[in-house]
Amino acid sequence: MARRTFAKFACLHHLEAGDSESLIFALGEAVCNAMQHAGTDLAIEIRIRVAGDTVVATVKDRGCGFDQPPVGSVALPSVYAEQGRGFAIMQRFTDFLEVRTGPGRGTVVTFGRYRREYQEHPAAL
């Protein structure tokens, strides 16, 4: 449902296909991570906004959190690994990614992209 809703949001805000597809993919990873790792049945909060030339998405859970959020470039795990790709994938499909978390505090993942049409047509601003 999150992906479908974001696709409608992207149409309403005239996002280019590349930006929309990348953010839908990253959003799916963030929501899946929250569902799999939060350790709670509490609702997952999803917020998406357009701020000028930037599209920002936030996925927040109120789950167990974890000790160390990823810092820097996250490597993809072995092709044989069954998990551990989420943050690496989110980084590769977004222009920025921030993870705030802590044991017992839940996790907030904020990510986004700079809209390509603004970069290609600066006079349109």
Where in the chain are the domains?
A: 2-124
pLDDT, average across residues 8-13: 91
113 has which bridge partners? Answer: 55
Q: In the CATH scheme, what is the homologous superfamily, with its name and number, of domain 2-124? A: Histidine kinase-like ATPase, C-terminal domain (3.30.565.10)
- Would you state the pLDDT for residue 81? 65
In terms of C-beta density within 10 A (0-12 exposed, 13-18 middle, 19 or more buried), how is residue 123 classed? exposed
- Would you state the pLDDT for residue 45? 96
- How distant, in Å, are the alpha carbons of 6, 12, 50, 54, 90 from that of 121? 24, 20, 17, 14, 26
Residue 123 confidence class, pLDDT cut points 50, 70, 90 = very low
Q: Report the relative pairing of strands 54-61 and 96-102 from DSSP bridges.
A: unpaired
- Would you state the pLDDT for residue 92? 92
- Would you state the pLDDT for residue 120? 54
pTM: predicted TM-score of the whole model, two decimal places? 0.84
Between 77 and 96, the higher pLDDT residue: 96
For 30-85, the pLDDT digits (tens) are 999 999 989 999 999 999 999 889 999 999 999 999 887 777 777 766 777 677 78
Residue 119 confidence class, pLDDT cut points 50, 70, 90 = low
- Would you state the pLDDT for residue 121? 45
Please provide the average confidence, as pLDDT, over all residues in the chain: 86
Residue with tokens 């998405």: 57
